[in-house]
Amino acid sequence: MLYDVFISHAYEDKKDFVKPLADKLIEYGIEVWYDEYSLSVGDSLRCSIDKGLKESTYGIIVLSENFFNKNWSQYELDGLWQLQSISKSKRILPIWHNITKEEIINYSPTLADIIALSSNEDLENIVEKIIKVIKPQGSSLIIARDTMIEYGTKPPVISDDWWLDVAISIENYGPLDRWQFPIISCSDDALPRERGHYLAWHAMQQNWVEKANSIPITQITHPEIVIDFIKKLPGLQEKCEQYPQCLLSYAPFIGIKGFEGPFLNSIESFYQASLIKQKQLIKEKSINGSGLTTSNLPPECEEELALRHPQFGNYRPSSIACTFTQGQLMGLSPRYYTIIDYVVWLLSENSNWLPQHIKNFLLIGYKEWGMWIWNKFSGNDYIYFEDEYHSKYKGCLSEALYNHDEKKFIYSKKVIEDIKGRFEFSKHILEIDDNVATLVEKFIEEKFVECYLEQYYTKLGKRRKKRKIK
């Protein structure tokens, strides 16, 4: 069936009752065959009514004096009686409109015997009673549709190919990507209700991802904007509260104290549980310091919570910069921009709302990480943007670093032009207002290049030392 209900009525009753009834049913997600919405110019009235009758699960009959005086309404009623007789189930739902039971009996004693609603009732009550009867049960698609409606979204009709696209996306469901959350899977023999809920959550999640990419909502989006985004998308806030670790991967600044908004309780609970867990592991000597932490100290919390911890969980700045940008190894993937774009954002005034100690920590992290370099052959350097930086100076910085001979680095004209061109592109992508020359000046003052070279030669010296020992 393509329609939940067919409304049979007289034209004279349309304005005062039938149209408001149809609109309210549609508002509740009921698929309605109603001539104002279902007939197009050139349609055969009889063929269209036949089609509506055949493709509707139920038929609402608005019984009135006007209805009894119509030939077409009688034709529709006869059709519904025939379908009800064949299916041997309740198909006709009468509504008495400005008419008495005696008048119904005079017209059709059989109709008078069916329990009916009265149009004198409040429209909301009428619709609720109709829904209790006609709401189809047992279909995963219907349950998915109704679940989405309950969360405040309006999905397409269940015959729309959009649902097929959602099903295909489930088949291709792999590691979680940006703004995706764990959804409890169901087996092939799961009940329709479980399958319907599973489908609905995937459909809503697909919407979150599309919206987040179109705005975009990234790791560097201000927490207030992120929270507003979450609140507006049906179902998303529930998942964020359920999986704070995922939320902090996609929006790490929400974890900073004072920026949590409605997620304060879930984030703080996650934080306290993480502190207890790490302390227990340290006590049991299950974890020690590693290359991810400073001074060989063990981590005191999860990496996603480092920006909340007063000592950043003992993590190295480079470890957190890496996790901030592209997530943990084999974990969630929050990355949206290329690494240099995050650096430019931190250098810009757009990041001045960040607590200064966190801003400084991340800047140090990107310098230590050393993965910010762009080169001539970067190609499509962005996750969701085509790399349009095609300056003739592109790659001059990386070439100069490659050919450097351990003397003081010289910022040649070509190198400066390469940096300017790349920062201009970042400025466009990030929609920041800072002067490019000022950004380049800050980049040089922060000694990104010198830090990179220092690490390079330190690592090179270690490798040479190992070779001599062998």
Report the CATH number at residue 22.
3.40.50.10140
Q: How does residue 317 score in pLDDT terms, banded at 50, 70 and 90?
A: very high
In a domain, 30, yes or no: yes
As given in the structure block, the two tokens for residue 439 are: 């950004």
Q: For position 80, what pLDDT does the model report?
A: 58
> In whole angstroms, what is the distance from residue 199 CA to residue 196 CA?
5
Q: For position 433, what pLDDT does the model report?
A: 93
Residue 390 per-residue DSSP state? -
Please indicate, yes or no, whether residues 236 and 361 belong to a single structural domain of this protein. Answer: no
> Mean pLDDT, to the nearest integer, of 364-385?
73
- Decide if pLDDT at 47 tops 50: yes
List residues bridging with 94 in a β-sheet: 61
Write the CA distances from 455 to 294, 452, 458, 460, 461, integer angstroms.
16, 5, 5, 8, 10
- Asked which of 119, 136, 153 is the last residue of a domain, the reply is 136
Q: How does residue 30 score in pLDDT terms, banded at 50, 70 and 90?
A: confident
CB 320, CB 306: distance < 8 Å: yes
Please indicate, yes or no, whether residues 92 and 16 belong to a single structural domain of this protein. Answer: yes
Structure confidence by residue, pLDDT tens digits, 165-186: 888 887 766 667 789 998 887 7
- Decide if pLDDT at 466 tops 70: no
Please indicate, yes or no, whether residues 164 and 80 belong to a single structural domain of this protein. Answer: no
In a domain, 307, yes or no: no
- Asked which of 80, 110, 136 is the last residue of a domain, the reply is 136
pLDDT, greater one: 345 or 149: 345
Most confident of 129-138, 148-157, 374-383: 148-157
In a domain, 437, yes or no: yes
Q: For position 215, what pLDDT does the model report?
A: 93
Please indicate, yes or no, whether residues 182 and 68 belong to a single structural domain of this protein. Answer: no
- Decide if pLDDT at 469 tops 70: no
Please indicate, yes or no, whether residues 27 and 118 belong to a single structural domain of this protein. Answer: yes
Structure confidence by residue, pLDDT tens digits, 267-282: 999 999 999 999 888 8
In a domain, 44, yes or no: yes
Q: For position 40, what pLDDT does the model report?
A: 45
> In whole angstroms, what is the distance from residue 53 CA to residue 83 CA?
8
> Mean pLDDT, to the nearest integer, of 402-410?
82
Helix (H) or strand (E) holding 60: strand 56-63
> Mean pLDDT, to the nearest integer, of 86-108?
77
pLDDT, greater one: 57 or 231: 231
Whether 76 is catalytic: yes
Q: For position 38, what pLDDT does the model report?
A: 44
> Mean pLDDT, to the nearest integer, of 432-447?
96
In a domain, 270, yes or no: no
> Mean pLDDT, to the nearest integer, of 116-121?
89
- Decide if pLDDT at 266 tops 80: yes
In a domain, 425, yes or no: yes
In a domain, 251, yes or no: yes
Q: For position 44, what pLDDT does the model report?
A: 42
- Asked which of 91, 111, 136 is the last residue of a domain, the reply is 136
Please indicate, yes or no, whether residues 341 and 460 belong to a single structural domain of this protein. Answer: yes
Average pLDDT of the chain to the nearest whole number:
83
What sections of 286-412 are H helices per DSSP?
A: 317-326, 339-347, 356-369, 396-402
pLDDT, greater one: 143 or 378: 143
- Active-site residue identified among 31, 76, 260, 304: 76
Q: For position 381, what pLDDT does the model report?
A: 47
CB 248, CB 267: distance < 8 Å: yes
Q: Is 253 in a helix, a strand, or coil? A: helix
Please indicate, yes or no, whether residues 405 and 347 belong to a single structural domain of this protein. Answer: yes
Please indicate, yes or no, whether residues 359 and 461 belong to a single structural domain of this protein. Answer: yes
pLDDT, greater one: 138 or 328: 328
Most confident of 9-23, 102-116, 153-167, 276-290: 9-23
Please indicate, yes or no, whether residues 245 and 175 belong to a single structural domain of this protein. Answer: yes
Where in the sequence is the domain holding 56, given as residue range(s)?
3-136
pLDDT, greater one: 382 or 409: 409
Q: For position 173, what pLDDT does the model report?
A: 66
Q: Is 195 in a helix, a strand, or coil? A: helix
Q: For position 263, what pLDDT does the model report?
A: 97
Q: For position 192, what pLDDT does the model report?
A: 76
Residue 431 per-residue DSSP state? T
In a domain, 430, yes or no: yes
Q: For position 10, what pLDDT does the model report?
A: 80
Q: For position 386, what pLDDT does the model report?
A: 44
Domain count, the chain: 3
Q: For position 384, what pLDDT does the model report?
A: 46
Q: For position 175, what pLDDT does the model report?
A: 67
Least confident stretch, 191-195, 248-252, 335-339, 446-450: 191-195
Please indicate, yes or no, whether residues 127 and 158 belong to a single structural domain of this protein. Answer: no
Please indicate, yes or no, whether residues 76 and 167 belong to a single structural domain of this protein. Answer: no
Please indicate, yes or no, whether residues 173 and 128 belong to a single structural domain of this protein. Answer: no
